Amino acid sequence: MTLLQLDRVTVAVSGRPVLRQVTLDVRAGEAVGLVGESGSGKSMTVKSVVRLLPTGATVGGTVRFDGADVHALDAAALRRMRSRDVAMVFQDPRAVVNPVRTVGDFLTEVLRDQGVSRAEATRRAAAALSEVGVGDAARRLRQRPYELSGGLLQRVVIAAALLTEPRLILADEPTTALDVTTQEEVVAILNEQRRLRGAALMFITHDLELAAAVCDRIAVMYAGEIVEILPAARLHSGARHPYTRALLDARPGAVPPGERLRTVPGVPQSAYTAPAGCVFADRCPHAEPRCRDERPVFTGSAACHLLGAL
């Protein structure tokens, strides 16, 4: 069953395009990774799902969640969707958790808003902390954010995200602010717990290997467009778009030890500066004249004029 459906979603901020015709489906319980260089539109895509776009943004196309047109929801329905059906986990937990209130207040707030009693909300909050691997829950609930490490606090945010039993979790680089070993643990817990609950996941990351480990499918974004969508298991063998291949070549793991790391040649474009034809044409080693002039249609799994020829 399709849970989320983005159909030719276009976003412009102050008249400048930032997303161009983004089409993507997420099935119930499915994990979809969004990868691509900085500024490619990953966060904007996720924000368009919950209408958290910057002031002055204009939106085209449709976003449907469980069949309902998100951009046509009234304020009450939008609030319900954001507080129950969709949960968000962002990069920096300290930007999300109120620094002067206790962890317990933070965790029980949404449940209390839904009419759950204080005792029951506290019991569920403690259980959620245990599920994400936070021991001594009773003490943690009384603590304030500054008393917890970044990794522990991000687990608290994940516990909060799971508490309302959402059907979709939007995770925007949830571990970038953490050290490497903590990153792996936190992503593993997020993924394990959301799978247990059957929640779908949109997972933004710069780390292709991590995306492949966590997700069922991967959508590759460049300059405000999705240029390729492929099953995570086929990320290496099945990548067909020159940009996906360039990203794979630029992974630290793709370079033998001692050799210089590779980058994707050229300068990243934004949707605003990209050529009229293929957004990647200026950096593509295979580009032909028509690539600069004619926009490739997304066919099968990728948008590229040269797929058959490469």
Ligand X SMILES: Nc1ncnc2c1ncn2[C@@H]1O[C@H](COP(=O)(O)OP(=O)(O)OP(=O)(O)O)[C@@H](O)[C@H]1O
Q: Which residues bind ligand X (CB under 6 A)?
A: 13, 18, 36, 38-44, 54, 270
Cβ-based nearer residue to ligand X, 18 or 168: 18
Q: Which amino acid is at 115?
A: G
Cβ-based nearer residue to ligand X, 14 or 114: 14
Q: Measured from the CB of residue 54, what is the shortest distance to ligand X in angstroms?
A: 4
Task: Give me the torsion for CA of 154, 157, 161, 162, rounded to 10°.
Answer: 70
The pair of structure tokens assigned to 36 is: 């691509």
Residues 6+ apart with CB under 8 A from 118: 108, 112
Cβ-based nearer residue to ligand X, 6 or 107: 6
Please provide the size of the chain in residues.
310
DSSP 32-98: EEEE-STTSSHHHHHHHHTT-PPTTEEEEEEEEETTEEGGG--HHHHHHIIIIIEEEE-S-GGGTS-
Cβ-based nearer residue to ligand X, 39 or 104: 39
Contact 19, 6 (CB under 8 A): no
Angle, vertex CA 29, rays to CA 27 and CA 32, nearest 5: 65
Q: Measured from the CB of residue 273, what is the shortest distance to ligand X in angstroms?
A: 9
Cβ-based nearer residue to ligand X, 70 or 159: 70
Say whether 227 sits in a helix, a strand or coil.
strand
Q: Measured from the CB of residue 135, what is the shortest distance to ligand X in angstroms?
A: 33
Cβ-based nearer residue to ligand X, 4 or 220: 220
Residues 6+ apart with CB under 8 A from 148: 103, 140, 156
Q: Measured from the CB of residue 297, what is the shortest distance to ligand X in angstroms?
A: 23
Q: Measured from the CB of residue 31, what is the shortest distance to ligand X in angstroms?
A: 18
Q: Measured from the CB of residue 196, what is the shortest distance to ligand X in angstroms?
A: 28
